[in-house]
Copies of this chain bind each other. A is one copy, B any other.
């Protein structure tokens, strides 16, 4: 018995050592202040223990418009603190500036990459933002799936959401192709876009039909998201070639072919939707008008709506005769042509011009205009609205 007690004590000490060892670097969260903390009134407190630092600030999309940073204040124990005003429900992104160096909040392990920056995130729940939470509902699955693209002569990866019950229902499902913007990749919609949570919640509430959501990679020079491809842990960049020169649209049927071969899906126009943000909206427009018999539902979220650059490309026919192709699309009566844009979006006029053309022809479409600009916060809202209109 004595022996057992000694052994037990030794074991517990060893476990404590193991915690250190497993982490490789000795850093204990004990005694570290919690950050961020969402308070009862929906204000948020950031804290950082940094007795040696001279200046700490916080920067993030929760700050009032026009304010770039907020100073944190140091107490006599070296803990810096800043509390925001009460915030609206939203998924927010932020960084700390430690003596001028922009870093993640070291107390917050939840970080998401957007293009070439890593942001700390937090969620103020309630209202629309409840759709972004993992709630106690049936969950769909997210898969990272490699497929063959003979047109691009590459193996490429896409992210696939299958709704709760897919594995066992035996049913066939409609498919929604959801495209990212410039600088994004096949992870964008499932991470900052909260696509799985939005779909899970709206399906559970009976507001969206169970559907498969396919999120391909829109950058034809990439096999997969940065870090997940054979070029290694590269520095991600906005400025990739082969994004808006027609090769994505030309290779797009490879994705559809793969999906319809691999998943239990309905394979007609009434059960195919396509939408995307920014560049992905541009891709959605040109994929759908070049294949007017294929997509019953089309969504443009803060989209570029015109070919605006005159690069040389092997695929320029994709963009030729846009209005003629739009005419053909509408002659076949798509169930939904949906446009969403923010009032301060740099593509507002570009969208207004497209709407003028649609109006001049009396083509039916739905239009949503929101506050704000070219931001994830708008794209999550557009996704939430759009999916409620599909396949009904």
Question: Does any Cβ of B come within 8 Å of A123's Cβ?
Answer: yes
Given contacts A117-B23, A145-B141, whether A308 and B11 have CB atoms under 8 Å apart is yes
- List residues of A (204-243) whose CB comes within 8 Å of B's CBs: 224, 226-230, 232-233, 235-238
Query: Which residues in B have their C-beta under 8 angstroms from that of A381?
Result: none
Query: Given the complex of chains A and B, what is the CA–CA distance between A95 and B93 in angstroms?
Result: 21
Given contacts A60-B25, A143-B143, A375-B24, whether A308 and B118 have CB atoms under 8 Å apart is no
| B14, B29, B224, B230: the one within 8 Å of A235 (CB) | B29
Question: Does any Cβ of B come within 8 Å of A89's Cβ?
Answer: no
Give, as a whole number of angstroms, the nearest-CB distance from A15 to chain B.
8
Of A46-54, A264-272, A312-320, A324-332, the segment with at least 4 beta carbons within 8 Å of chain B is A46-54
| B48, B51, B95, B227: the one within 8 Å of A110 (CB) | B227
Query: Which residues in B have their C-beta under 8 angstroms from that of A116?
Result: 29, 109
Q: Is B346 touching A134 in the complex (CB atoms < 8 A)? A: no
Could you say how many copies of this chain the assembly holds?
A: 2
Query: Which residues in B have their C-beta under 8 angstroms from that of A229?
Result: 134
Q: Is B155 touching A146 in the complex (CB atoms < 8 A)? A: no
Of A97-105, A357-365, A383-391, the segment with at least 4 beta carbons within 8 Å of chain B is A97-105
Query: Which residues in B have their C-beta under 8 angstroms from that of A4?
Result: 310
Q: Is B24 touching A93 in the complex (CB atoms < 8 A)? A: yes
Query: Which residues in B have their C-beta under 8 angstroms from that of A226?
Result: 109
Q: Is B346 touching A14 in the complex (CB atoms < 8 A)? A: yes
Q: Is A25 touching B109 in the complex (CB atoms < 8 A)? A: no
Q: Is B111 touching A111 in the complex (CB atoms < 8 A)? A: yes
Query: Given the complex of chains A and B, what is the CA–CA distance between A48 and B376 in angstroms?
Result: 29
| B11, B25, B138, B146: the one within 8 Å of A61 (CB) | B25
Query: Given the complex of chains A and B, what is the CA–CA distance between A309 and B11 in angstroms?
Result: 9
Query: Given the complex of chains A and B, what is the CA–CA distance between A236 and B261 in angstroms?
Result: 40
Query: Given the complex of chains A and B, what is the CA–CA distance between A157 and B140 in angstroms?
Result: 10
Q: Is A111 touching B100 in the complex (CB atoms < 8 A)? A: no
Question: Which chain B residue lies CB-closest to A36?
Answer: B233
| B8, B98, B374: the one within 8 Å of A18 (CB) | B374
Given contacts A308-B8, A374-B18, whether A233 and B122 have CB atoms under 8 Å apart is yes
Query: Which residues in B have their C-beta under 8 angstroms from that of A347?
Result: 14, 18
Question: Does any Cβ of B come within 8 Å of A356's Cβ?
Answer: no
Q: Is A308 touching B141 in the complex (CB atoms < 8 A)? A: no
Q: Is A123 touching B232 in the complex (CB atoms < 8 A)? A: yes
Most B CB contacts (10 A, CB to CB) among A14, A53, A109, A229 go to A109
| B53, B157, B346: the one within 8 Å of A17 (CB) | B346
Question: Does any Cβ of B come within 8 Å of A181's Cβ?
Answer: yes
Query: Which residues in B have their C-beta under 8 angstroms from that of A169?
Result: none
Question: Which chain B residue lies CB-closest to A262?
Answer: B167
Question: Does any Cβ of B come within 8 Å of A19's Cβ?
Answer: yes
Query: Which residues in B have their C-beta under 8 angstroms from that of A146?
Result: 138-141, 164
Give, as a whole number of angstroms, the nearest-CB distance from A347 to chain B.
7
- List residues of A (141-183) whose CB comes within 8 Å of B's CBs: 141-146, 155, 157, 164, 167-168, 181-183
Question: Which chain B residue lies CB-closest to A226?
Answer: B109
